[in-house]
Structure 1
Amino acid sequence: MTLESLDMNSKVIYRKCLPGGPWRRLLPGIILLHNNDPTPDQLVHAALLYAGTAAIVTGEEACLRYGLRLDVPATSERRIHVLIPHHLKRTSSDFVTVERTKRLPRPWLRAGVPLAPLARATTDFVRRARTVHVIGQAMIEAVQRGGCTPQALAEELDRGTKRGTALPRRLLAEWANVRSVAEAEAQKLAKILPHPPTHQNEVLYDNTGSYAGRPDFWWDDVGLAWEIDSLDFHFRSTDYARTLRRNTRYASLGVAVVQTLPSRLRTEPKTVLDELRTAYAAALTRPRPAVFLGEPP
């Protein structure tokens, strides 16, 4: 229902939206019936009203509504990116970015808001991001928090426009052979160490031939393990229980283990490096535990 359908004169509407008036114009043809700052939900619904009934939200706003933590300035202007069918004619306006697409996906409804699927929303966001850190964090969040696979992100980048995809493609290529996306960041950090890990994702056995573990990173000369894991990067409680069993097994075999929260790889890299150097120095002072790569002799 529109104000004009209620027989309200357009001049009256215009006057009410003037500075100091009781209403506020958000977008062409979209009026907020009060003069307070609009809420995030009001901005989203205004964008959808403006773009039309077929519009769906993608990019940053959709990612946030999926629960992803994006590294965007809190003071940055809030923009709503929407997708509409290619045959429709609607231009971007004010805080709304309208993108016409021949690949309009089936929306996912969250709190009544139609969202692009997570892989599409993430790639739409990273195509417009400008720094490696922001792009990398968004894709890591999509994988680890949203359950999206790196392959799904790569396929979505392949299907869409190639504009703005160079950086995300490069990062995905670097992660292609890494079991966990978080390990990609750890791998880069480990190269700075004076004594980098000797192995990655290799299976360890004890002196009876029983399975001892498969550390993310391993220093075979001193028997030191480095694991990148936390509840943030596990999707089920059973994963966390498995982590606890692994640590108990390490302790029983005398294996020293350094555990690092994935977020600290980005926020505290120098501290993480110091912890690894200290752990390596401590491992040098004790006998190497009886664990072996492959079957024991």
Structure 2
Amino acid sequence: MNHNTPLSSRPLSRLANVHRRVLTAAQLRAQGVTPAETNEQCRQGGPWQQLLPGVYLLHPGPPTSEERLHAVLSYTARTPFREPAAGVPAQPNADEPRPAPHYADAVITGLAALTLHGFSSAPPLLSLDTIDVLVPRLRRLRTVGCARVIRTASLPTPSYVTGLPVAPVPRALADAVAELLDVDSVRRLLTEAVRGGHTEPAAVMRELTQARLLNRPHVADAVDSLLAEGRAIAEDQLYRMVREFALPDPVWNVDLRLPGGPHLGGLDAYWPEQAVAVELDTRAPGQEDDALWSEYARKRETLERLGITVVHLTPRKLRESLEQQAAVVRTALMASSDRDPAAYVVVLPR
């Protein structure tokens, strides 16, 4: 008898027909494979191998990236597989592809999640020594092998990439950044998140703040680049809005001042004849109740007392509803003829 010899009346060769050759002990039992048979197949030089506790790879070579991901999820998920009902075969037709399992209470995060989201600055899956996975805080699991367990009080609602539960980009970024010490690596990931359209700076900042990562100097340096990138993209969207929806050309990036009087504040776009201004709100989360928000509100109130209409836009509004925002600006421009003339202000380049 050798390691490939079937040990039961149900040939183990039928298992080669499953489209992923990663199975748990429970799945093998459901297929009629006893623990003794599993141990025999996993002996040194045998055709199977144990990747993680209770998780087996049904071939002797190195696991593929997909197999590693499924192994980690099979190890950490609460119920990755349902036992078949009594009298119902686990695999009625071995020629039919087996449906992807449902992984409960386990979500891929960190660098592996960013790679699955399509980040070019994240490393290939096979180059990662460990795959980060989020589980509820009270789960009794330990980090082992290629599975790095991260406990969390609240699992994020996952995205699904190739059928796998993956943390949303902002959460995956925060978990990745928590393990990185190189400012250039952190900066590349944060910049690609915004420039690649994966998420907004505000969402990333929320996660970094919640994870208490902003007090790390290399993260704070990278965040400055993130916010600058977010503003540059929002400004490009604003230029595009004016161009594509045929709005009158404003004067861009100006400061307003009363003649011989105080500085009134900077604006991203201003139409002097109509006394209409656009201001981009690119504040980071957590600044909503602080001095910066007070400055925004004070400037707006001052300008509106002088008869200047201020249209307040966020990067998200510009990205998700550009035509609607153009209509808001156009309405403000058209309504200027019905308003009393605005006070005279001096317009200076910013």
Q: TM-score range by the shorter chain?
A: 0.5 to 0.7
Which residue matches 1:110?
161
Structure 1 length-normalised TM: 0.57
Worse overlay, 125-134 or 164-173: 164-173
Residue 30 of structure 1 is aligned with which of 48, 51, 55? 55
Residue identity matched to 1:114: P
- Does the CA contact (< 8 Å) of 1:126 and 1:135 recur in 2? yes
Amino acid at match of 1:153: V
Which of residues 89, 103, 106 is equivalent to 1:55? Answer: 106
| Equivalent in the alignment of 1:249 | none
Find the partner of 2:146 among 78, 81, 95.
95
- Cα displacement (A) at 1:173: 3.6
Judge conservation of contact 1:127–1:165 (CA < 8 Å) in 2.
Answer: no
Q: Deviations over 1:115-161 (max 9, x none)?
A: 11110011111111121111110111111114312221111111125
CA-to-aligned-CA distance 1:157-211 (integer Å, 9 cap, x gap): 1112549954223321455456238x9xxxxxxxxxxxxxxxxx857xxxxxxxx
Report the alpha carbon displacement of residue 18 of structure 1 after superposing the two structures with TM.
2.1
1: CA distance between counterparts of 2:36 and 2:120? 44
What's the offset of the Cα at 1:74? 8.4
**Could you list the runs of 5+ residues in structure 1 that have no partner in the other structure?**
184-200, 204-234, 239-292
Cα contact 2:115–2:125 (8 A) shared by 1: no
Q: Which has the larger Rg?
A: 2
CA distance in 2, matches of 1:75, 1:109: 20
Note if contact 1:17-1:23 (Cα within 8 Å) is conserved in structure 2: yes
Q: Does 1:180 align with 2:232?
A: yes
Query: Which residue of structure 2 aligns with residue 41 of structure 1?
Result: 66
Q: Is this contact kept in 2: 1:66–1:146, CA < 8 A?
A: no
1:203-282 to 2 correspondences below 5 Å: none
State the alpha-carbon separation in 1 of the partners of residues 122 and 74 from structure 2.
28
Q: Aligned pair in 2 of structure 1 residues 25, 119: CA closer, same or farther (>3 Å)?
A: same
- The reply to whether residue 4 of structure 1 matches residue 55 of structure 2 is no
Report the aligned-residue RMSD.
3.4
Query: Does structure 2 retain, via aligned residues, the 8 Å contact 1:127–1:163?
Result: no
* Residues 1:78 and 1:19: Cα distance change in structure 2 (over 3 Å): same
Distance 2:116 2:51 in 1: 21
Off by >3 Å, runs of 4+ in structure 1: 71-78, 161-166, 173-178
- CA distance in 2 between counterparts of 1:51 and 1:74 reads 18
Q: Offset of 1:77 from its aligned partner?
A: 3.8
Distance 1:49 1:74 in 2: 17
**Residue aligning to 2:205:** 154
Which sits farther off after the overlay, 30-39 or 72-81? 72-81
Change (3 A) 1:32 1:177: closer
Q: Is the 8 A contact 1:85 1:100 kept in 2?
A: yes
> Are the aligned partners of 1:51 and 1:84 in contact in 2 as well (CA < 8 Å)?
yes
Instruction: Give the counterpart letter for 2:112 in structure 1.
Output: E
Q: Deviations over 1:256-293 (max 9, x none)?
A: xxxxxxxxxxxxxxxxxxxxxxxxxxxxxxxxxxxxx9
Aligned 8 A contact 2:64 2:126 in 1: no
Q: Structure 2 stretches of 5 or more lacking a match?
A: 1-25, 78-103, 236-251, 255-318, 323-346
Cα distance change, pair 74–65 in 1 and its aligned pair in 2 (3 A): closer
**SS state at 1:98 partner:** strand
User: Are residues 48 and 166 of structure 1, via their aligned partners in 2, closer, same or farther at CA, if it must alter by over 3 Å?
Assistant: farther
Residue 169 in 1 paired to residue 220 in 2? Answer: yes
2: CA distance between counterparts of 1:109 and 1:173? 30
Q: Is the 8 A contact 1:90 1:98 kept in 2?
A: yes
Please report the TM-score for the alignment, with normalisation by the length of structure 2: 0.49
Change (3 A) 1:157 1:144: same
Q: Is the 8 A contact 1:72 1:134 kept in 2?
A: no
Once the 2 structures are TM-superposed, how far is the Cα of residue 46 of structure 1 from its aligned partner? 0.8
Instruction: Give, as a single letter, the amino acid of the residue that structure 1 aligns with 2:45.
Output: G
Q: In the TM superposition, what is the alpha-carbon distance from 1:95 to its structure 2 partner? A: 0.7
- Verify: 1:69 aligned to 2:120, yes or no: yes
Q: Residues of 2 paired with 1:3 and 1:73: CA distance?
A: 30
Cα distance in 1, alignment partners of residues 123 and 209 from structure 2: 25
CA pair 144-138 structure 1, distance change in 2 beyond 3 A: same
